[in-house]
Each structure stands twice: as structure tokens, then as C-alpha cells.
Amino acid sequence: MSIAHSSFYNMLKVPEHQVAGHLAIDGKLGPLVDDSGRFYKPLQGDGRGNKELAFYESFSSDTRVPDHIRKYFPVCYGSQLLEASNGSGLLHHLVLQDIVSSHRNPSIMDVKIGSRTWYPEASDNYIQKCLEKDRRTTTVSLGFRIAGLQLYEGKESGYWRPGRKEVQSFTVYNVRSILRRFVSSNSSIGNENSDCSFAPSIYGGSAGILEQLLELKAWFEDQTIYHFHSCSLLILFDKESVSKGSASVPEIKLIDFAHVVEGKGVIDHNFLGGLCSLIKFVSEVLSDSKESSIKDCVESEKPGICTDNGNCQ
Amino acid sequence: MSIAHSSFYNMLKVPEHQVAGHLAIDGKLGPLVDDSGRFYKPLQGDGRGNKELAFYESFSSDTRVPDHIRKYFPVCYGSQLLEASNGSGLLHHLVLQDIVSSHRNPSIMDVKIGSRTWYPEASDNYIQKCLEKDRRTTTVSLGFRIAGLQLYEGKESGYWRPGRKEVQSFTVYNVRSILRRFVSSNSSIGNENSDCSFAPSIYGGSAGILEQLLELKAWFEDQTIYHFHSCSLLILFDKESVSKGSASVPEIKLIDFAHVVEGKGVIDHNFLGGLCSLIKFVSEVLSDSKESSIKDCVESEKPGICTDNGNCQ
């Protein structure tokens, strides 16, 4: 742990692309970022911060975690004393890789995985509070809920960033629409008309979101080290790069580990079930998009054939 | 639906091998069986019976269910008016295939799958009641709980059949031990010493329990027709046949469909997560048993090799 120098403070700023959690604005406590690609998350005083730090310490030294899985977690650089964003003075911050910094105009979805966000060891009050929210959102019905998102819609319209209340009221129908809209070129003209034209390159392909989710799934079918309660999958990609045809790899990262507990020889069936549900939704968007491009090819009477990524040739 | 003749009543009897649920003894209401391989389950008056009948009707005519999955469900022959076992007079009974009738001395496990037995549409009272029991048993921690079992221990000792209270107090440790003891030849001499000698032929092999569970899992990753709340997997085999080397195929059947609801386009992530947890436990018993037979082969200095089913050659 190190204490930052005062000259360093000037470099810290409020993250531009934070889609869920507490924001460091209006004198509130929240995470900060710098220009070197680091993300500073204040360690909450109720023990959650220390639990998350303990998780990162345990995880980073655990040789049972294979490298192809480790890449789905942000790199952790320990903790640091920094001026808190709410002006309350020096506070310990977790120093993490700023996942978003490598993306120019990222479209981001924060998907909280699991059909329950509580864990057996928690207090009755905590369980009832979580259960109430899990039932109110899609957590119980879908096995996951969207906790926040931003969708880049182009230079003129900027980002679509629904407010917290709107996000919390998402139904199963809304979630399905958003998963389509997330990979559509015409996202601003309404859910019903989403063209899903980016689905083959973002959800599909050997480096796409679906393959990454399946790689994670295979690990979750086997690993009994950790149970990831109330943890999120951050799904992000740069729509502009994709539009321009440049090779932008969509990314998945797991975040928020304040409620991770030991697996004690049992798989994380709660996370795994939710992950499989998300996989099914993503697969459906992908196969729908392929079907509709085949239909388009046929309807336009082009002599070409439809390629694997859904384009006409 | 038909009304049984009085001569028929004499043939009905209390099932010999029922390991969970209400028993038709001491003037209580419970299921009955006949000698022709049929199982008569009284339709409970609170709507659950009709819900189960409705499920069987919907399921049996649903062409989306593939044949290789249909074999995991008991055949349903409709409903019939019969004298209830509690002497209350004529009562509608669901007429099902008696799964156990084809086994001579069956070892049976009733495993209730899912990390919750309640469903979003249920009343708050019902949810709290289920939740309390789910937390008290291994349902929340493991994603499944053993709801009942009988273990055939040989001609002299007969069956080990733990009482309802004992079953309800099973811990994760107990469940792991029972899954070993279930496939051991020396089950009566204590959990610690279970030899798991039947694991390769019961859990393993191309027609074994593990392969059957994996076949079910593949369906649950995809099917969005039904959500099977509070439903059980019945796992059964005939230990004596296995001991004698005869080809006895271990069986899996899903039972108890009073709380099945429509999937509405979402996979049953609750059932799937629990199923994957059970699969992990069964796989571990199987791979432990293979390892220990390799060790035995080495220790006995036999010149032979260990075969796939864990035997020395």
C-alpha cells in the first residue's frame, strides 16, 4: 500500500463511462480514474471493501485459476491512500485496471449474474432486502439482471444511458430488447426495429461474446473455489470500430467481488445457472440475426450466399 | 377417466419402496400401486393435484419434447376414481407408471433439484415457508437436497432407510457421503469406509447415471417450455443384479410436477444450476473410485492394468 503524492491527485477524475454503482459526483463517494489506465475504488467502511481486497489478494495468488480464466478479471494493483471524492480526506482505495480506458466510445452492459444476490451466511435482514430486490427485478425470473448500461449511438446522438430507476424496472421483455439493441446499428429508432447487424461480429465469431461466455461457463461447471454473489459481468465493445470494420474485440470482465465467499467444494450453481440463461438469450439474438440476413439475401434476390457472420456475399 | 371396479380395489396396496412424500399408512392419504406396474397418486384438493395432471397432459402431447428426454418421465395413464387410502371414499388419482416395479431390491435416492423450491408467482407466505426450508436443508448451499432414500444392504440387513427428520438434517458432508455409500458394496460399515466399488458400473459407463444426467443437462440448457420447481430426480438401481454381474441399467426419472410453471422463453436456470452441482458431485465419486482402483492395482502388485470401469485385469 502506498500514499499518493499531492501532484498525483490532480490527475484523478470521475470515470466517464461508469454505468452502475455510486458515482463520484455532487460531493459523493465514488471511484476515480487516472490517465494511465487505473481505476481507484474507495474501500467501503462496512467491511465490503476489505472483503473485495481480500478476494483480489486470494485470487491473484491462486494457482488453481487457469490463465484463460484470469483474463476475465481486472488486474489488481493493491490498495492506495487517496483523497476521497467526497472531500472526507484520505481513504483507502482499491487500485484496479481501468477496463474501459482502452475503448474509445464503448457500449457497455453491466449484467449482475445469479438468481439470488444473497448468500446463506448473510444476516436475515440482508437476505430479505436482497430477496425483495431480486424478485422486483429480473434476477429471480431470468437468473440475471441488467444493472446499468450505456449504448453509443453515433457522433450526433452520443450515448443512450437509461437512469437507475428505468434500469431497475426492466422486465424480461426489456432485457431481450436491450440485448438486441446493444448490437444494432439503428439502436435509437426503437427496440422493435433493432437490426442486430453487429450481432455476428460482436456476439458471434471465435473471439465473440458468446464464445467468451461459453469459456467462462466451462470453468463454472468445474470450479469449487469461489461463489460469486452479486457479481457483475461487464460486456463492452467499441461500436465505431466495428462500423469501420476495424478489428475491435468485444470484451467481458467480471467485477464487484465484495460478496464472494469460499466455494467449499461446491460449484457456484447460482452463478452458473444465470450465466446459462444469459448464454441462451445471446445465442437467440445471434441465430435470429443470421436467419434475418439469410432472409434479406433471399429477398434482395442477390445471387450471392450468406456467410457465417450473416453478411451477403 | 374411469371408475375402478370393486374387485380391482383388492389389488391395490401401499408401495413397498416409497422413499419420500406422504405414505398411505395409519389411515393417511397416500399413493397406491397394483401388480400391473401402475402407481396411483391421489389428486390433492388444494389444486396441486390438478396442476400435476395438467402438466402430464400438456407434456405428453408436446411435440417439442424429444423422445430421448421423454424417457426420463413416468408414463401417465390419465386419472381414475379410486377408494382413497384414508377411507374418505372415492377420490381422483393420477395413474402413473410404477417406476420401481421393474426393480427387485432397488436402492433409491429422491433428489429434489434446484436452489429454490418456490417460484415468483407463488404467495409471499408460500415463498417464506419454502425459503426457510431451503435454507435449513442443502437446497440453497448445494442446489439440491436429498428428500428421501433407501439403500439395499443385502439379504440379511435389508434396507437402510433413514427417517424423515434425519434426511431433513443432511448437511453437504452427509450428501457427499451418501452419494458414495449409494454405490458401495460395504455400505453398512460406515460412511468413511465406503469402497464405491459399484461407482464405475452405476455412475459411470455409457448408460450410467452420469451420462443420463449429462443428457438431461443438455436439454435444460436449451428448453424454455417448463420450469420444474420442487421437482425430484429419482435415481434407482438394483444392487443385487450389479453384484451378480447381470446387466442392470441404473435409472433416472423426474417426478413431482405440482409446481411446474411455463418457461415463457427462459431456461430453467434454477433446475439447471442444481443439476450441474449434482453432476459435479457424482463425477467426483466416479473419479475418486477410479483413482482408488488404480492405487489398489498398484499396491497389490498385480501385473494387470486397470480398465476403464475401474477394475483390475
Q: What is the rounded average pLDDT for all residues in chain B? A: 88
Q: Given an 8 Å threshold on Cβ–Cβ distance, is A269 in contact with B142?
A: yes
Q: What is the pLDDT of residue B310?
A: 43
Q: What is the pLDDT of residue B296?
A: 66
Domain boundary among A97, A120, A145: A97
Chain B residue with Cα closest to A269: B273
Considering the domain architecture, whether residues A135 and A68 belong to the same structural domain is answered as: no
Q: What is the pLDDT of residue A28?
A: 84
Considering the domain architecture, whether residues B56 and B187 belong to the same structural domain is answered as: no
Considering the domain architecture, whether residues B58 and B198 belong to the same structural domain is answered as: no
Q: What is the mean pLDDT of each run of 10 residues along chain A (313 residues)?
A: 48 85 81 92 86 95 96 96 90 94 91 96 93 96 97 89 95 96 78 83 94 98 98 93 75 96 97 98 93 67 46 43
Considering the domain architecture, whether residues A89 and A123 belong to the same structural domain is answered as: no
Q: How far is B67 from chain A (nearest CA, A)?
A: 22
Chain B residues within 8 A of A229 when measuring between CB atoms: none
Confirm if B1 and B79 have CB atoms less than 8 A apart: yes
- The total domain count for chain B is 2
Domain boundary among A97, A116, A142: A97
Does the CB of A200 have a partner CB in chain B at under 8 Å? no
Q: Is residue A233 part of a domain?
A: yes
Considering the domain architecture, whether residues A43 and A182 belong to the same structural domain is answered as: no
Q: What is the pLDDT of residue B292?
A: 77
Considering the domain architecture, whether residues A281 and A214 belong to the same structural domain is answered as: yes
Does the CB of A274 have a partner CB in chain B at under 8 Å? yes
Considering the domain architecture, whether residues A78 and A116 belong to the same structural domain is answered as: no
Q: What is the pLDDT of residue A124?
A: 93
Q: What is the pLDDT of residue A199?
A: 94
Confirm if A275 and A220 have CB atoms less than 8 A apart: yes
Q: pLDDT confidence of B244, banded at 50, 70, 90?
A: confident
The mean pLDDT of B241-268, rounded to a whole number, is 89
Does the CB of A35 have a partner CB in chain B at under 8 Å? no
Does the CB of A131 have a partner CB in chain B at under 8 Å? yes
Element counts in chain A: helices (H) and strands (E):
11, 12
Q: Is residue A3 part of a domain?
A: no
Q: Is residue A144 part of a domain?
A: yes
Q: What is the pLDDT of residue A304?
A: 43
Q: Is residue B114 part of a domain?
A: yes
Q: What is the pLDDT of residue B187?
A: 63
Does the CB of B64 have a partner CB in chain A at under 8 Å? no
Considering the domain architecture, whether residues B227 and B155 belong to the same structural domain is answered as: yes
pLDDT digits (tens, 9 = 90+) for A66-118: 999 999 999 999 999 999 888 889 999 999 999 998 888 999 999 999 999 99
- Return the CATH number at A172: 3.30.470.160
Q: Is residue B212 part of a domain?
A: yes
Considering the domain architecture, whether residues A168 and A137 belong to the same structural domain is answered as: yes
Q: Which residues contact B296 (CB under 8 A, 6 or more apart)?
A: B312
Q: What is the pLDDT of residue A284?
A: 97
Considering the domain architecture, whether residues B110 and B194 belong to the same structural domain is answered as: yes
Q: Is residue B296 part of a domain?
A: no
Q: What is the pLDDT of residue A242?
A: 76
Considering the domain architecture, whether residues A239 and A270 belong to the same structural domain is answered as: yes
Domain enclosing residue A144, as ranges: 106-290
Q: What is the pLDDT of residue A200?
A: 93
Q: Is residue A21 part of a domain?
A: no
Q: What is the pLDDT of residue B115?
A: 98
The values of phi and psi at residue A181, to 5°, are -60, -30
* Residue labelled with grid coordinates 464487484: A256
Considering the domain architecture, whether residues A165 and A49 belong to the same structural domain is answered as: no
Q: pLDDT confidence of B39, banded at 50, 70, 90?
A: very high
Q: Is residue B282 part of a domain?
A: yes
SS3 per residue for B107-166: EEEEEEECCCCCCCCCCHHHHHHHHHHHHHCCHHHHCEEEEEEEEECCCCCCEECCCHHH
